[in-house]
Amino acid sequence: MNTLHRFFYRFSWFRETKWAYQRVCRGYDDRVIWGIDSYLAHYIPIWLNELKKKEQFPTSMNTEPDMSETTDEQWNEYKKKWNSILDEISDGFVAAEDLIEGDSPAWDYYYEEFQKRYGVFDIFKNRKEHDELLDELGTFKSQEEETKVLMERFSKSMDLLKTHFFSLWS
Q: What percent of the chain has pLDDT over 70?
A: 91
- The phi and psi torsions of 123 (rounded to 5 degrees) equal -65, -30
For residue range 106-151, list pLDDT tens digits in order. Answer: 888 888 888 888 887 777 777 888 888 888 888 888 889 999 999 9
Sorted by where each begins, the domain ranges of the chain are: 1-34, 35-167
pLDDT tens digits, one per residue of 37-59: 999 999 999 999 999 999 888 87
Number of alpha carbons in the 13 Å side-chain half-sphere of residue 106: 18
pTM: 0.77
Average pLDDT over residues 8-27: 85
163-166's contacts with Cβ under 8 Å and 24+ in sequence apart are 164/58, 164/85, 164/89
**What is the per-residue pLDDT for 15?**
83
CA 16, 18, 24, 29 torsion-angle sign: negative
